[in-house]
């Protein structure tokens, strides 16, 4: 041990694997406690903008502000309603509004959020192009980490924040497998300047249902952070059912390379993208289908989930999507990454018994995050696999339907019970 942290507990040398939202938050939180943090990121410094925007529960952003994880002037939009919409003959352009469901969500530009976190990680702590290949606990309080270039690191604690295909999870729990949900999330974004009209997207999230899924549409700040009308981005995603037997073919790019979990922007074969846009034109109200039609370089993610038996073994821990992995309906990526990091910091703060602190943290995160996975599964059943025709339902029927299928409380979607 290097000494005592700022709260009187032992000062640890901590290795963080993965430099995205979760990894940066862990690095910032533990550095501020006085621990020596080394963050190993496999890519270069230019950590990619993974999609134009994200929607997260508003309490997550409040927590970021309270803990100075982002600047108080970070641009975002507040979304206080989910508009549940269905295309009908009488409302073919904008859709029939079945329910304006109360929500507590904010919409941000992913890149702006990431850059806020990244700039708070101590510069000396962030190492790029470090591909971790092995993690081994040699003793009760020592973990060795090997990189592809032959470099070896030694730590008192390792936190794996290396995403849904986590090496850390595979090492700790080789029996845990990702479960394919039976559908993909097809995504895109569009500059507001390229829209025919913008007013129909004002003040909330539009959720347009159709047999077999739904599409979600909302404004996020522009790439430069602008929130001014005319300079925003429309962020959208559409759930498409793809049988597992056809998934490999769907995830093969225009060069013939098969991708494991996602097709990057610009890589989708033109016939696949054309077929998806044509299908959207038959399923969605014309306004939303037109947004998709105008969007360039669309991309896709296969939707998976998994629960984990624990969040640590010894001095190796999981955080963010490397732990329990929830479907994107939950808005859980940033939520889990923030909560995992902050609760780990709270557990270690001032504790003189590191392993007891990690045990308590492990128990809490395993329970909370596995519950989030189950919430995502319920949303998947309600909004994709067994979605009813909303145009035939009044407000009371919509509320009763939702409450009967989605029984787990949410931090951002509200429903009368």
- Token pair recorded at residue 244: 């597992």
410 within some domain? no
- Looking at residue 8, its pLDDT comes to 55
| Low-confidence spans in the chain with pLDDT less than 70 | 1-9, 45-52, 333, 410-417
DSSP H/E element including 321: none
415 within some domain? no
If asked whether residues 21 and 100 sit together in one domain, one would say: no
Q: Are 196 and 352 contacting, i.e. CB atoms less than 8 angstroms apart?
A: no
- Print burial letters for 43-68: b (CB count within 10 Å at least 16), e (below 16): eeeebeebbbbbbbbbebbebbeebe
pTM over 0.95: no
- Token pair recorded at residue 299: 């991309």
If asked whether residues 310 and 299 sit together in one domain, one would say: no
Distance CA 134, CA 136 (A): 7
Phi, psi of 345 (to 5 degrees): -60, -45
Angle, vertex CA 381, rays to CA 274 and CA 330, nearest 5: 80
- Token pair recorded at residue 102: 């109360």
If asked whether residues 294 and 316 sit together in one domain, one would say: no
Q: Are 5 and 36 contacting, i.e. CB atoms less than 8 angstroms apart?
A: no
Q: Are 40 and 17 contacting, i.e. CB atoms less than 8 angstroms apart?
A: yes
Give me the domain span that covers residue 222: 71-107+179-304+387-405
- Looking at residue 120, its pLDDT comes to 96
| Closest C-alpha among 408, 396, 232 to residue 330 | 408
- Looking at residue 259, its pLDDT comes to 94
- Looking at residue 86, its pLDDT comes to 98
- Looking at residue 139, its pLDDT comes to 84
If asked whether residues 291 and 341 sit together in one domain, one would say: no
If asked whether residues 215 and 297 sit together in one domain, one would say: yes
Q: Are 330 and 375 contacting, i.e. CB atoms less than 8 angstroms apart?
A: yes
Could you tell me where the DSSP H helices lie in 119-222? Answer: 167-172
- Token pair recorded at residue 321: 């999507």
- Looking at residue 204, its pLDDT comes to 85
* CATH at residue 242: 3.30.9.60
Q: Per DSSP, which regions of 117-196 are E strands?
A: 126-127, 132-139, 142-147, 152-155, 157-160, 179-191
If asked whether residues 224 and 369 sit together in one domain, one would say: no
Under DSSP, the state recorded for 250 is H
If asked whether residues 229 and 288 sit together in one domain, one would say: yes
Distance CA 41, CA 124 (A): 13
23 within some domain? yes
- Looking at residue 417, its pLDDT comes to 37
56 within some domain? no
Domain count, the chain: 2
If asked whether residues 157 and 21 sit together in one domain, one would say: yes
| Closest C-alpha among 54, 51, 302, 263 to residue 178 | 302
Under DSSP, the state recorded for 252 is B
């Amino acid at each position: 041990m290097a000494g005592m942290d700022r709260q009187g507990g032992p000062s640890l040398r901590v290795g963080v694997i993965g430099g995205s939202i979760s990894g940066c938050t862990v690095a910032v939180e533990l550095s501020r406690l006085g621990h020596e943090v080394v963050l190993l990121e496999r890519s270069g410094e230019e950590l990619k903008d993974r999609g134009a925007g994200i929607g997260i529960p508003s309490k997550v952003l409040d927590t970021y502000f309270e803990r100075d994880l982002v600047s108080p002037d970070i641009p975002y939009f507040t979304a206080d309603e989910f508009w549940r919409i269905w295309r009908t003959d009488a409302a073919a352009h904008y859709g029939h509004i079945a329910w304006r469901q109360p929500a507590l969500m904010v919409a941000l530009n992913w890149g702006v959020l990431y850059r806020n976190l990244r700039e708070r990680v101590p510069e000396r702590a962030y190492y790029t192009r470090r591909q971790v290949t092995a993690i081994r606990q040699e003793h009760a309080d020592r973990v060795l980490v090997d990189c592809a270039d032959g470099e070896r690191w030694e730590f008192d604690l390792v936190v794996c924040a290396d995403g849904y295909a986590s090496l850390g999870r595979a090492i700790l729990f080789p029996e845990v497998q990702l479960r394919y949900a039976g559908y993909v999330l097809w995504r895109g974004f569009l500059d507001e300047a390229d829209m025919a009209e913008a007013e129909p997207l004002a003040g909330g999230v539009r959720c347009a249902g159709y047999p077999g899924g739904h599409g979600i549409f909302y404004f996020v700040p522009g790439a430069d952070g602008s929130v001014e009308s005319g300079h925003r981005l429309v962020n959208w995603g559409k759930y498409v059912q793809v049988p597992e037997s056809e998934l490999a073919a769907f995830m093969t790019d225009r060069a013939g390379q098969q991708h494991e979990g996602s097709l990057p922007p610009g890589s989708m074969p033109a016939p696949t993208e054309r077929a998806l846009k044509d299908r959207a034109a038959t399923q969605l109200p014309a306004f939303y289908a037109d947004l998709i039609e105008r969007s360039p370089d669309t991309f896709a993610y296969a939707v998976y989930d998994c629960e984990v038996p624990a969040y640590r073994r010894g001095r190796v821990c999981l955080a963010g999507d490397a732990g329990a992995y929830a479907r994107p309906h939950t808005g859980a990526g940033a939520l889990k990454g923030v909560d995992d990091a902050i609760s780990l910091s709270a557990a270690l703060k001032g504790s003189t018994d590191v392993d007891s602190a990690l045990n308590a943290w492990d128990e809490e995160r395993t329970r909370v995050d596995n519950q989030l996975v189950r919430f995502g599964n319920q949303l998947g059943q309600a909004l994709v696999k067994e979605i009813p025709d909303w145009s035939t339902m009044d407000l009371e029927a919509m509320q009763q339907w939702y409450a009967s299928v989605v029984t787990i409380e949410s931090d951002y979607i509200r429903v009368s019970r």
